[in-house]
A and B are shown apart, each in its own frame.
Chain A
């Protein structure tokens, strides 16, 4: 039995003596005082665990002494048992009203007193345990908050490494985004244009944020290397599928902005309807989610089918996660898709839509403590030129790099159907330090030559179609169809390089299994600015030599570095 310290305050010596003996019989230590003032002093000095207090004492009475003792005890639980000869229920209840925890009536029953002391001691122990646990929890919480601050710093470095601050983007991402699983990524493509990805991971907190890191890494890395958005999504899906537990996924909207093709390709899985606002402000087109969220399907089942939508300069695309739709007001009503559409419709100008949406949601939610899930991005189609910096980041070669080399790469029909070799070819070219400064231009050349060989050569598509915007759509539809049914044909890429550390020549030879074209007549044709056919004027600007051979199904381009000023 643990010995407790008990303070007995009673001005009647006979009573005190009885109490003292009973309490000591139980194995406890006793401190005796005869009045209220002594009681307070004795409490301060000895800090007993329990106090037996006579209600009526001369000088400082029991109730006032109790009040002072409780104040000194502060956070500690010190039960006070009033000693009284009152017997009516009201008077006894009054005792408890003024801070006492229990009462003991005269004549003192030793069994009752000992039982009460035991009971109060159990409560004291429980209280102490509670305080300890509270302190443990507070400490753990402080640690966790600190860890989250660090995690957020790492997350910001990864997730915000892109070009969200580009002039054609406006966005809103909750400052607490690491806690709600929302992600916004934007990166320039080396050949011009941009990839944008809005993600919404299931769940909240760090588990939701963790998936964002590999996703951002893949997105930025692959985009910088020139991979298409379909391939990027494929990789992201595979990665998330492998690292996230079953039942966890990422709803996403991804956009490939191609200013040169005046279109955007969109992939949406699990996000609510988004809108495209035409420059005139009159037309709002709805983009709906056609796919399952990322991280659900295995690689072989993943569907990377994009929806192509013509997008002219000045057209605006709006993407959001369901946080905006589900934002609640004080009554618990949701903002909803309808309200959102109305805000877009009611805006005075297209420029005002973004701020109107922000203001409308803020006004709707009011001052309620909301979950702060509103993630919103506006992307305006503009010229978006190629970014040289993106190329420089991906090179891995040594100072000198490979100077004298050649390679031969043949792609057959089944490979042509789903594999784009341009990023790989580009990667090889970037191994030559002298070519890195021209990364964007080289990408353009390679992409153009390959696209001509594949689309016009192997698939037999008519470049004349691309002269009008309806033709563009038709062109890409045909491209899809013919790619699906392709069963014969090839593209052969031969690259060679000769040089020293100061200058060099890269030769690109692309041959396709197609019919070729009448290249002799095209040689002297005027430039066609708006809708390029085979992009030959563009190639002529970058290449020091450009020659068509055979039936027109072979093209050889030589690029000299350093590039002379035009």
Chain B
């Protein structure tokens, strides 16, 4: 499991890449990835390498959304595999995040 963060678009967009199992063990690293960045307008969570998502991962996404401004946030979750997509869909997270 690894978390990598990078700034794109002249520092306005933060891309957080998660590989492996996205579960509770990712908690600290995930938070560190976005808490240390400032003046970010948009967030992207790239799950192309993520094999699995559990409820604590959903919780972490909610924390990110809260940090990013709640209802006014712009967060996109992209490159989900079928299993991950299914989990997000059962929880109807497309109502809160843009899912690609």
The interface of chain A, by Cβ under 8 A from chain B, is 202-203, 246-249, 251, 269-273, 288-293, 296, 301
- When the two chains form their complex, are residues B63 and A247 in contact, meaning their CB atoms are under 8 A apart? yes
Contacts of B63 in A (CB 8 A): 246-247
Question: Which 9 pairs between the two chains have the least Cβ-Cβ distance?
Answer: A247-B59, A270-B91, A247-B63, A202-B55, A246-B66, A247-B62, A292-B92, A289-B90, A246-B63
CB distance from B99 to the nearest CB of A (A): 13
CB distance from A273 to the nearest CB of B (A): 8
- When the two chains form their complex, are residues B58 and A291 in contact, meaning their CB atoms are under 8 A apart? no
The interface of chain B, by Cβ under 8 A from chain A, is 55-56, 58-60, 62-63, 66, 71, 90-93, 95-96
Asked whether A202 and B58 contact (CB < 8 A) given A247-B63, A292-B95, the answer is yes
Q: Who on chain B is nearest to A244 by CB? A: B59
- When the two chains form their complex, are residues B92 and A289 in contact, meaning their CB atoms are under 8 A apart? yes
Q: Who on chain B is nearest to A337 by CB? A: B86
CB distance from B79 to the nearest CB of A (A): 22
CB distance from B72 to the nearest CB of A (A): 13
Asked whether A247 and B91 contact (CB < 8 A) given A202-B55, A292-B96, the answer is no
| Complexed CA–CA distance, A155 and B37 (Å) | 42
Q: Which of B59, B60, B90, B93: most chain A CB closer than 10 A? A: B90
Secondary structure type dominating chain A contacts: loop
- When the two chains form their complex, are residues A292 and B59 in contact, meaning their CB atoms are under 8 A apart? no
Known: A249-B58, A292-B93, A292-B96; 9 extra A-B contacts, CB below 8 A, are A247-B56, A249-B59, A269-B91, A270-B90, A288-B90, A289-B92, A292-B91, A292-B92, A292-B95
- When the two chains form their complex, are residues B56 and A202 in contact, meaning their CB atoms are under 8 A apart? yes
Some 6 contacts from A to B, beta carbons below 8 A apart, are: A202-B55, A202-B56, A249-B58, A269-B92, A292-B96, A296-B96
CB distance from A46 to the nearest CB of B (A): 50
Contacts of A202 in B (CB 8 A): 55-56, 58-59
- When the two chains form their complex, are residues B91 and A203 in contact, meaning their CB atoms are under 8 A apart? no
Q: Who on chain A is nearest to B61 by CB? A: A247
Q: Which of B56, B66, B92 contacts A270 (CB 8 A)?
A: B92
- When the two chains form their complex, are residues B59 and A293 in contact, meaning their CB atoms are under 8 A apart? no
Asked whether A296 and B62 contact (CB < 8 A) given A202-B55, A202-B56, the answer is yes
Contacts of A296 in B (CB 8 A): 62, 96
CB distance from B34 to the nearest CB of A (A): 13
Contacts of B90 in A (CB 8 A): 270-273, 288-289
Q: Who on chain A is nearest to B65 by CB? A: A246
Contacts of A290 in B (CB 8 A): 92
Q: Which of B60, B66, B91: most chain A CB closer than 10 A? A: B91
- When the two chains form their complex, are residues B62 and A249 in contact, meaning their CB atoms are under 8 A apart? yes
| Complexed CA–CA distance, A455 and B87 (Å) | 40
CB distance from B95 to the nearest CB of A (A): 6
- When the two chains form their complex, are residues A251 and B92 in contact, meaning their CB atoms are under 8 A apart? no
- When the two chains form their complex, are residues B92 and A246 in contact, meaning their CB atoms are under 8 A apart? no
Q: Who on chain B is nearest to A270 by CB? A: B91
- When the two chains form their complex, are residues B56 and A289 in contact, meaning their CB atoms are under 8 A apart? no
- When the two chains form their complex, are residues A293 and B56 in contact, meaning their CB atoms are under 8 A apart? no
- When the two chains form their complex, are residues A291 and B92 in contact, meaning their CB atoms are under 8 A apart? yes
CB distance from A248 to the nearest CB of B (A): 6
Contacts of B59 in A (CB 8 A): 202, 246-249
